[in-house]
Amino acid sequence: MTILLSTLNARYTHASLGLRYLLANMGELRERTKIQEFVIGAKTTEMVERILAHQPRIVGFGVYIWNVEETNKLVAMLKRVAPHIVVVLGGPEVSHETGEQDIVRQADYVITGWGDVTFPKLCGEILNGPKPLMKVHAGHQPPMAELAMPYSLYTDDDIKNRTIYVEASRGCPFKCEFCLSALDKTAWPFNVDTFLAEMEGLHARGARLFKFVDRTFNLNIKTSLRIMRFFLDKLEANPDDPVYAHFELVPDHLPDALKEGIAKFPAGALQFEIGIQSFNPEVQTLVSRKQDNQKAADNIRWLCDHSTAHMHVDLIAGLPGETVESFAAGFNKLWALGPHEIQFGILKRLRGTPIIRHTEPFGLVFDPHPPYTILANKDIDFPTMQRLVRFARYWDLVANSGRFTHTVPVLLGEAPFENFMAFADWLYANTDATHRIALDRLAGMVQRWLAHTGMAAEDAARLLARDFAPAKAKAQAVAPQRQARHLAA
């Protein structure tokens, strides 16, 4: 074995689609290439030992915002104990601003952008000559039909225990400046017949949890309907053998034909992730986000009221021009639409994204370390931004967890953002913690807060009992399903 493909996944349940694409497209080097995945948090010495056990001549690392710091340590140690091994980096984190990164300085080569065909070409030159002279290689983007599909490289263990990531298209036609997809020229679809044949193979092998990584699943409605029809046929043919699919939707593009298709799915079969990010038209203009807010709101409302899909909708705090007050108005508007989850995100400065053009006029201050979260801007100072960060954490623990179904609407009342912010401030003041809060303690704190804000103690206890008293039984029955959904999110 000559070439090892590796990355550090955020969780064991995340199987790297990128590594499998590289392996599928290695050509004559495929038989000499192997995948070795790790999980962040693993000991660097143990990872190096496992890499060296393969005796590779080349190791290619996929580098992302969540693993760059640990991968940097891994590369440094690997080059120290085995300097003869050639290290090649790829992935979004090293595709931009390469000259500023320590991990790039330690590596031998870097591929920016698409690596499917550039990586095997580079490996061939390293192994057979002539030796490449340049360190940084711009990835070549081939026609989509020329890419070999990676799905047969998911193992039976992957299918049984991990999320299966798939893509019917790459890229995005939109230019939202906080997203790396702003650099794409358009979206490139795979041939839908070829793609569905691959999905048929995965399903036949037992795959039942599919996460689509497409940025714009509903961009081409005909293709969307073909893919959804595939899953619906499976469900109708065997209702006792559920299939679960996760799609990311453009919020203001939901024609009647797609609504009709979505409405046919039974409960527990679909999850939609919808990025609203902001309902503020001025902020949307600043970050080059084109969105019909009224259509987006109407579509979310329709999906919540007329489909059984699990709705996961995103907002981003800290965007240039977004004040706490305008963010609160957007949050309250979104809550009123009724999604199952609101993902409260904090703006991050992803390498290469155009958001940096607003740094000076809006006083954007970002953490210099991954994940490069915004610390302050001219509208939101650092202490207030930290309050928003805690809000996001507590929101996940209380509202998004699904454990306080009856309690949350009462806690939020008529002013959801304002009331939850007050609760978050109080909770932090009384616990000094945002992590490792046991469920029984959290429930007790929620009950105390309700009493603190005027609810009769016995009424607060009775309300929490509806959610929390049977928590152990509920956790046994519901948690595996919710966990699967969250892992697919």
- Determine the Cα–Cα distance for residues 376 and 362; give it in Å rounded to an integer: 10
| pTM of structure | 0.92
Same domain, 119 and 231: no
Strands, E assignment, 40-122: 58-62, 86-90, 109-112
Last residue of a domain, one of 364, 393, 413: 364
Same domain, 102 and 247: no
Q: How far apart are the first and last CA of the chain?
A: 35
Residue 102: inside a domain, yes or no?
yes
Number of structural domains found in the chain: 3
- Determine the Cα–Cα distance for residues 52 and 235; give it in Å rounded to an integer: 45
Report pLDDT digits (tens) over 259-268.
999 999 999 9
pLDDT of the chain along its 489 residues, tens only?
A: 799 999 999 999 999 999 999 999 999 999 999 999 999 999 999 999 999 999 999 999 999 999 999 999 999 999 999 999 999 999 999 999 999 999 999 999 999 999 999 999 999 999 999 999 999 999 999 999 999 999 999 999 999 999 999 999 999 999 999 998 888 888 999 999 999 999 999 999 999 999 999 998 999 999 999 999 999 999 999 999 999 999 999 999 999 999 999 999 999 999 999 999 999 999 999 999 999 999 999 999 999 999 999 999 999 999 999 999 999 999 999 999 999 999 999 999 999 999 999 999 999 999 999 999 999 999 999 999 999 999 999 999 999 999 999 999 999 999 999 999 999 999 999 999 998 899 999 999 999 999 999 999 999 999 999 997 654 434 433 433 443 444 333
Residue 418, CA atoms < 13 Å, CB-side half-sphere: 7
Same domain, 241 and 335: yes
According to DSSP, the β-strands at 310-317 and 270-277 are parallel
Last residue of a domain, one of 364, 397, 419: 364
How many CB atoms within 10 Å of residue 417? 22
Alpha helices for 205-323 (secondary structure H): 221-237, 256-263, 281-286, 293-306
Angle between helices 382-398 and 416-431 (to 10 degrees): 100
HEC readout, 378-445:
CCCCHHHHHHHHHHHHHHHHHCCCCCCCCHHHHHHCCCHHHHHHHHHHHHHHHHCCCCCCCHHHHHHH
Same domain, 410 and 359: no
Closest CA to 7 of 57, 46, 79, 63: 63
Residue 130: asked if its preceding bond is cis (omega within 30°), the reply is: yes
Closest CA to 193 of 238, 145, 260: 145
Residue 376: inside a domain, yes or no?
no
Query: For the domain that residue 44 is a member of, what is the CATH number?
Result: 3.40.50.280
Last residue of a domain, one of 93, 114, 144: 144
- Determine the Cα–Cα distance for residues 396 and 398; give it in Å rounded to an integer: 6
Same domain, 128 and 214: no
Residue 311: beta bridge partners? 272
Domain that holds residue 38: 3-144
Q: Which helix (H) or strand (E) holds 48?
A: helix 44-53
Contact yes or no for 399/408 (Cβ under 8 A): yes
Give the pLDDT score at 487: 37
Closest CA to 225 of 258, 251, 271: 258
Report pLDDT digits (tens) over 179-212.
988 888 889 999 999 999 999 999 999 999 999 9
Query: For the domain that residue 330 is a member of, what is the CATH number?
Result: 3.80.30.20
Residue 373: inside a domain, yes or no?
no
Q: How far is CA 242 from CA 168, 197, 270, 332, 488, in A?
A: 21, 19, 11, 34, 15
Same domain, 49 and 123: yes
Give the pLDDT score at 184: 87
Same domain, 359 and 398: no
Tokens representing 81 are 């104990």
